[in-house]
């Protein structure tokens, strides 16, 4: 006869019910993780002097500038380096400087610099944190006039003054924390099917992040219109830029909910609304 009482799967030693420590412990850890992520995000806020928005950002302006300067060489290299045409390079810098000097962007503390990239294939323009702004030759060569160039650069300046990179970094850090908490709370090592909940949580997080990116693009279009009007450029030419972008994509647009950029047609509608809003109010 055994000295120990036989266990059933539901019993521990002595016949007492087995406690499911793994699930309860996971839920407690998930609550702590979610609470930490929320406190860190909502506990840091700064008022943007350009947009007057309260933003949840845990990065200083100096850090943004440092990140941009550090990242600029490698980003340029990814697009074949700087374009050798010095006249075109000078035009990009001149238009960019004019936009900054004669608009509300002059009140921002960033160190702006504008670069024409050699890349002849990728139609794109982008801004790094802190004021490093790039346009590819593929897009530059499609533009029809200086006003359209101002529209592209004004849009990218909008990303900088609105602190979109820093805002998005903080937002993604929050989503990663909440997604990790959701996975911890629902994962059961004895049930492989619970892994599906982790995939769903990540998918939802990605959709939220994409929507956040589309809102940023629309805000930058709005700011780009304002900078163009303040500097004396024709804001209607930004509509022309949207048509160039649509043509470059072959006229095919991905469903807006699954893209980080809004559909060009929707952007045109918002741009025209911004033109109506700012014209007559900006001298």
Report pLDDT digits (tens) over 192-202. 554 555 555 55
The band of 10, judged by pLDDT with boundaries at 50, 70 and 90, is very low
Q: Please give the mean pLDDT across all residues of the chain.
A: 79
pLDDT at 123 over 80: yes
Report CA torsion sign: 185, 208, 56, 42: negative
Can you tell me the mean pLDDT for 1-8?
41
Q: What is the pLDDT of residues 252-276, one digit of tens each?
A: 444 444 455 677 778 999 999 999 9
Nearest CA among 164, 274, 265 for reference residue 209 = 164
What are 82's two structure tokens?
């700087």
pLDDT at 81 over 70: yes
The band of 27, judged by pLDDT with boundaries at 50, 70 and 90, is low
Reported as type and span, the H/E element at residue 54 is strand 54-55
User: What pLDDT is recorded for position 46?
Assistant: 85
User: What pLDDT is recorded for position 106?
Assistant: 96
User: What pLDDT is recorded for position 221?
Assistant: 96
Q: Are 267 and 234 in contact (CB under 8 A)?
A: no
The band of 40, judged by pLDDT with boundaries at 50, 70 and 90, is low
CA distance 249 to 232: 30
Lowest mean pLDDT among 133-142, 182-191, 221-230, 260-269: 182-191
Q: pTM of the predicted model, to two decimals?
A: 0.74
Q: Are strands 113-117 and 132-136 parallel, antiparallel or unpaired?
A: parallel
Lowest mean pLDDT among 56-65, 113-122, 135-144: 56-65
Helix ranges, the chain (H): 21-42, 61-78, 86-101, 137-140, 146-161, 164-186, 195-231, 237-248, 264-278
Lowest mean pLDDT among 35-44, 87-96, 116-125, 190-199: 190-199
Q: What are phi and psi of 68, to 5 degrees?
A: -65, -45
User: What pLDDT is recorded for position 191?
Assistant: 57
């Amino acid at each position: 006869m055994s000295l120990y009482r036989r266990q059933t799967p539901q019993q521990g030693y002595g016949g007492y019910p087995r406690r499911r420590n793994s699930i309860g412990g996971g839920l407690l850890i998930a609550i702590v993780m979610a609470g930490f992520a929320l406190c860190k995000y909502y506990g840091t806020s700064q008022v943007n002097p350009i947009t007057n928005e309260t933003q949840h950002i845990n990065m200083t302006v100096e850090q943004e500038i440092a990140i941009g300067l550090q990242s600029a060489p490698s980003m340029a290299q990814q697009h074949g380096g700087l374009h050798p045409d010095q006249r075109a390079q000078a035009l990009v810098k001149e238009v960019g400087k004019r936009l900054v000097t004669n608009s509300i962007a002059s009140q921002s503390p960033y160190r702006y610099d504008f670069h024409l990239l050699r890349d002849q294939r990728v139609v794109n323009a982008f801004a790094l944190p802190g004021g490093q702004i790039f346009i590819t030759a593929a897009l530059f060569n499609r533009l029809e006039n200086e006003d359209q160039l101002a529209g592209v650069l004004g849009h990218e300046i909008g990303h900088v003054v609105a602190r979109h990179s820093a805002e998005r970094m903080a937002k993604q850090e929050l989503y990663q924390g909440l997604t990790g908490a959701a996975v911890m709370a629902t994962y059961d090592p004895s049930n492989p099917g619970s892994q599906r909940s982790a995939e769903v949580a990540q998918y939802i997080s990605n959709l939220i992040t994409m929507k956040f990116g589309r809102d940023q693009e629309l805000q930058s279009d709005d700011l780009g219109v304002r900078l163009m009007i303040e500097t004396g450029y024709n804001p209607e030419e930004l509509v022309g830029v949207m048509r160039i972008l649509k043509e470059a994509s072959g006229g095919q647009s991905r469903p807006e909910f699954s893209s980080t950029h809004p559909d060009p047609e929707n952007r045109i509608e918002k741009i025209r609304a911004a033109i109506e809003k700012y014209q007559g109010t900006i001298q």
